[in-house]
Chain A
Amino acid sequence: MMHKVNTIDANSLSADWAEDAIRENSANHNHAAKDLRSITERDVLARLEGARTRKARIREDRITLAHGAGGKATHSLIEAMFLEGFRNPILEAMEDQAVLQVGDARLAFTTDSFVVSPLFFPGGNIGDLAVNGTVNDLAVGGARPLYLSAGFILEEGFPIGDLSRIVTSMKSAAQAVGIQIVTGDTKVVQKGKGDGCFINTSGIGVIDRPVNLSAASCRPGDAVIVSGPIGEHGITIMLARGELEIEADIGSDTAPLAALVERILDAAPQVRCMRDATRGGVATVLNEIAAASGVAIIVDESAVPIRQEVAGACELLGIDPLHVACEGRLVAIVGDESAQAALTAIRSGPYGDGASIIGRVKADPAGIVLLKTCFGGTRILDLLIGDPLPRIC
């Protein structure tokens, strides 16, 4: 039944890139020395962790969409290209915002670009995202957002009416948090060289509390809180593109989290770190925290807040909602003693009514996020690889 063709014909090639990768890796461990059957699963797992923690490297010759997906390729690009190129102690912290000491003041500074497609979607538009995204990156660092910049890259032919709607949304989003957009820039590119409208916002805020939030400061016993139902933004964008022919009553969760963060900080001084769960979702944030703090995070799937519509769409599409982007949810890691207080504080105001404790920090296995599934099994919850959905924000 099975005919192996052993003769190699003229068209037969070998995949040089694969042979190179294998050679490069075998320099690190010698297989030939060991009989395959004598290698245990434990040996392999140790070897594998070694490979995982190796220095990041960019293997590709060109940028692919994977570099923008927020998963492992993005991490490699940031570490091997940008961190390597711009290296300094402030950048090395790799937080959502840089913390700057200027005289007596501690300032937070951040930037974010928005390329979402479509520009308008249920629950918001690119303008809401551009303001809320930057406000949230400041807020999760414990900063009170003050001022924003706005840079527009517009494509020739873009309707003025659309731009006006976007600007109106930005104005109300800024007013809602009590901040001002104080500087900006406009560029127009030829038709076909952009896609309607791209926006960059940078933001500055002041940290006037004695907090020291860091993804590296989490300890065993801490509680993991998520501030509301997850995945609504990502699923909304996916459905808004109309390619899936699925309809559901879902809107983006885009929201400013500055007031919610204030409530957490008032109620729970022992908050270790907060991150907004954007690209790559809650799973990505948890993996970043587990790696930075050298701890394990155990998540209980049945405790993760999620709307039925989002769960149903994820099920149909075969995606894990923990990998789907939110634009108005944060993950907070809080010392056990103030976990309940933090939860109550989050739930007591806007954008927090679906908050829940979804898991705990543990010591072992360090750097790993585990998920206790609804079915009662346990598995690893890893970074997303190969996000099929570019331009979510």
Chain B
Amino acid sequence: MMKFVDEFRSEPLAHRLAAQIAELAGNQPYQIMEVCGGHTHTIYKHGLEDYLPPNITLVHGPGCPVCVIPMGRLDDAIFIAEQKDVIFTSFGDMMRVPGGRGSFLDAKARGADIRIVYSPLDALSIARRNSGKRVVFFAIGFETTAPSTAVTLLRAKAERIENFSIFCNHVTIIPAIKAILDSPDLRLSGFIGPGHVSTIIGCRPYEFIARNYGKPIVVGGFEPLDILQSIYMILKQLTDGRAEVENQYTRAVTWNGNSRALKALSETMELRPFFEWRGLGFISHSALTLRAAYAAYDAERIFELPGMRVADPKACQCGEVLKGVLKPWQCKVFGTACTPETPIGTCMVSSEGACAAYYNYGRFTRERIRYAANDTNPVNP
């Protein structure tokens, strides 16, 4: 399978694209937002900023599902996990995310039965094997992961598995992008559209970005060359005076999306009137909840949740970082009170979070890293 990956990481091709990007960019300043945390991760993991001229700034967007979960939701989840006879299941990247009363890892150390699963179907298997227990799955993610939750619900209902439920925290990407576009303190030149989400929803939902806001958006893949090419396509639109929705990730994304996944979604879930996003506040119609027909599988209806709201610490600036208004290092607590080891904000936990990516991979100014690594060839000095 690496054979398929290597061709998207070719250094000579990257140099060629970088030269074309630099030529298009000229001396004009550009701020391009990659909406998706997966893109943020790729950018840092491969050191992609080394290929960009200094007048192009990449702004990290809100598309990291772990990052946008407010502390109160975690406390509610821990409340469920600590109920009698509950096996609580979650993706591994949630384990260290702190709520008002610590993380899943802390709750597990206090005695809660919290298990890491790799798919909601794994959680369903645990329910099949443990009929005396109530198995709850912490569902999280944008439209990318919501269909797998939907399919699990369909299967649970078909098999009449009664000891299984979902604590639904699925969110939708369009309201978040709109919130950013409406935010007065941000000047963006264009967007790299979220590739994985778009495999489900397609490109059509982004049309308002070009039409109503006059911004180019290019749906991009997750290999470093995909991202460079997306940046090139955005600059090309800008220099041509166009604002359109374009698809760079044609090997995975279609214009109309995946109709089967969307059907499973609409059968099992509906929009919530509003949902709290960490740092961004309440955004209307921005999240999914289970339909009434699936009430028996809805942990929010099964358990009497305290409905905690935990205020973010005043010094915590996750919201500004998520909107791209602040760079991670501009947050007051970045790297001191808030580190990947002792995170306060969610952006510092997830590998897709802007703060964690910056801290782990890019902690030095680009110039210093470049100098340190490149004045000699490390293997043959």
Q: With A66-B96, A373-B45 as known contacts, state yes or no: A379 contacts B369, CB within 8 Å.
A: yes
CB-defined contacts of B313 to chain A, threshold 8 Å: 14-15, 18-19, 22
CB-defined contacts of A28 to chain B, threshold 8 Å: 336
Q: Are B50 and A388 in contact (CB under 8 A)?
A: no
Q: Are A375 and B337 in contact (CB under 8 A)?
A: no
6 nearest interchain CB pairs? Answer: A377-B47, A48-B335, A25-B337, A388-B92, A4-B281, A379-B361
CB-defined contacts of A376 to chain B, threshold 8 Å: 11, 14-15, 47, 50-51
Q: Describe B's contact surface by its main secondary structure.
A: mixed
Measured in the bound complex, the distance between the Cα atoms of B342 and A18 in whole Å is 10
* Least Cβ–Cβ distance between A261 and chain B, in angstroms: 23
Q: With A5-B282, A44-B335, A373-B47 as known contacts, state yes or no: A388 contacts B116, CB within 8 Å.
A: yes
Q: With A45-B365, A315-B5 as known contacts, state yes or no: A63 contacts B109, CB within 8 Å.
A: yes
**Assuming A11-B72, A41-B365, A45-B364, what are 17 further A-B pairs, CB within 8 angstroms?**
A5-B282, A8-B309, A14-B313, A15-B344, A26-B337, A29-B336, A45-B329, A48-B359, A64-B106, A64-B109, A300-B378, A300-B379, A360-B381, A368-B372, A375-B47, A378-B370, A388-B116
Measured in the bound complex, the distance between the Cα atoms of B280 and A303 in whole Å is 43
A115 within 8 A of B: no
A86 within 8 A of B: no
CB-defined contacts of A124 to chain B, threshold 8 Å: none
Closest Cβ neighbor of B328 among chain A residues: A44
Measured in the bound complex, the distance between the Cα atoms of B5 and A308 in whole Å is 12
Measured in the bound complex, the distance between the Cα atoms of B333 and A245 in whole Å is 40
Partner of A377, one of B51, B99, B280: B51
Q: Are B336 and A47 in contact (CB under 8 A)?
A: yes
CB-defined contacts of B379 to chain A, threshold 8 Å: 300, 303, 357-360
Measured in the bound complex, the distance between the Cα atoms of B311 and A312 in whole Å is 42
B187 within 8 A of A: no
Measured in the bound complex, the distance between the Cα atoms of B376 and A19 in whole Å is 45
Q: Are B50 and A51 in contact (CB under 8 A)?
A: no
Chain A residues touching B, range? 35 or more
CB-defined contacts of B1 to chain A, threshold 8 Å: 312, 315-316
A residues 68-82 with Cβ under 8 Å of B?
71-73, 76
B98 within 8 A of A: yes
* Least Cβ–Cβ distance between B202 and chain A, in angstroms: 22
Q: With A15-B100, A378-B374 as known contacts, state yes or no: A1 contacts B282, CB within 8 Å.
A: no
Closest Cβ neighbor of B105 among chain A residues: A64
Closest Cβ neighbor of A57 among chain B residues: B342
Q: Are B105 and A65 in contact (CB under 8 A)?
A: yes
Residues of B at under 8 Å CB distance from A?
1-2, 5, 9, 11, 14-15, 44-51, 71-72, 92-93, 95-96, 98-100, 102, 105-106, 108-110, 116-118, 122, 175, 178-179, 182, 224, 274, 276, 280-284, 306-313, 315-316, 327, 329-330, 332-342, 344, 349, 351, 359-365, 368-370, 372-374, 376-379, 381
Q: Are B311 and A378 in contact (CB under 8 A)?
A: no
CB-defined contacts of B369 to chain A, threshold 8 Å: 370, 378-380
Q: Are A15 and B378 in contact (CB under 8 A)?
A: no
Q: Are A377 and B364 in contact (CB under 8 A)?
A: no
CB-defined contacts of B372 to chain A, threshold 8 Å: 296, 298, 362, 364-365, 368, 370, 378
A102 within 8 A of B: no
**Can you identify 7 A-B contacts, CB atoms within 8 angstroms?**
A2-B281, A12-B311, A15-B313, A44-B335, A368-B363, A372-B373, A375-B46
A374 within 8 A of B: yes
Q: Are B282 and A2 in contact (CB under 8 A)?
A: yes
A318 within 8 A of B: yes
Measured in the bound complex, the distance between the Cα atoms of B315 and A373 in whole Å is 35
Q: With A4-B281, A5-B282, A377-B48 as known contacts, state yes or no: A299 contacts B333, CB within 8 Å.
A: no
Measured in the bound complex, the distance between the Cα atoms of B373 and A276 in whole Å is 25
CB-defined contacts of B92 to chain A, threshold 8 Å: 388
A residues 305-347 with Cβ under 8 Å of B?
308, 311-312, 315-316, 318, 320, 336
Q: Describe A's contact surface by its main secondary structure.
A: mixed
Partner of A380, one of B110, B308, B362: B362
Closest Cβ neighbor of B361 among chain A residues: A379
Q: With A24-B337, A45-B364, A378-B374 as known contacts, state yes or no: A1 contacts B47, CB within 8 Å.
A: no
CB-defined contacts of A51 to chain B, threshold 8 Å: 335-336, 339
Q: Are B342 and A374 in contact (CB under 8 A)?
A: no
Measured in the bound complex, the distance between the Cα atoms of B175 and A2 in whole Å is 9
CB-defined contacts of B337 to chain A, threshold 8 Å: 18, 21-22, 24-26
Q: Are B122 and A243 in contact (CB under 8 A)?
A: yes
Q: Which of A13, A357, A359 has the most CB of B within 10 A?
A: A13
A3 within 8 A of B: yes
CB-defined contacts of B46 to chain A, threshold 8 Å: 373-375, 377, 379
Q: Are B280 and A2 in contact (CB under 8 A)?
A: yes
Q: Which of B109, B334, B365 has the most CB of A within 10 A?
A: B109
Q: With A9-B309, A45-B363, A300-B378 as known contacts, state yes or no: A378 contacts B373, CB within 8 Å.
A: yes
CB-defined contacts of B45 to chain A, threshold 8 Å: 320, 373, 379
A59 within 8 A of B: yes
Measured in the bound complex, the distance between the Cα atoms of B223 and A374 in whole Å is 12
Q: Which of A2, A73, A244, A380 has the most CB of B within 10 A?
A: A2
Closest Cβ neighbor of A388 among chain B residues: B92
Q: With A312-B2, A365-B368, A370-B373 as known contacts, state yes or no: A382 contacts B96, CB within 8 Å.
A: no
Q: Which of A21, A303, A368 has the most CB of B within 10 A?
A: A21
Q: Which of A336, A373, A382 has the most CB of B within 10 A?
A: A373
Partner of A13, one of B100, B102, B338, B342: B100
* Least Cβ–Cβ distance between B356 and chain A, in angstroms: 8
A221 within 8 A of B: yes
Measured in the bound complex, the distance between the Cα atoms of B340 and A356 in whole Å is 31
CB-defined contacts of A385 to chain B, threshold 8 Å: 96, 340-341, 360
Q: Are B370 and A375 in contact (CB under 8 A)?
A: no
Q: Are B178 and A1 in contact (CB under 8 A)?
A: yes
A42 within 8 A of B: yes
* Least Cβ–Cβ distance between B41 and chain A, in angstroms: 8
Measured in the bound complex, the distance between the Cα atoms of B338 and A44 in whole Å is 13
A31 within 8 A of B: yes
Q: Are A382 and B360 in contact (CB under 8 A)?
A: yes
Q: Are B99 and A15 in contact (CB under 8 A)?
A: yes
Measured in the bound complex, the distance between the Cα atoms of B374 and A300 in whole Å is 11
Q: With A2-B280, A13-B100, A42-B365 as known contacts, state yes or no: A375 contacts B344, CB within 8 Å.
A: no
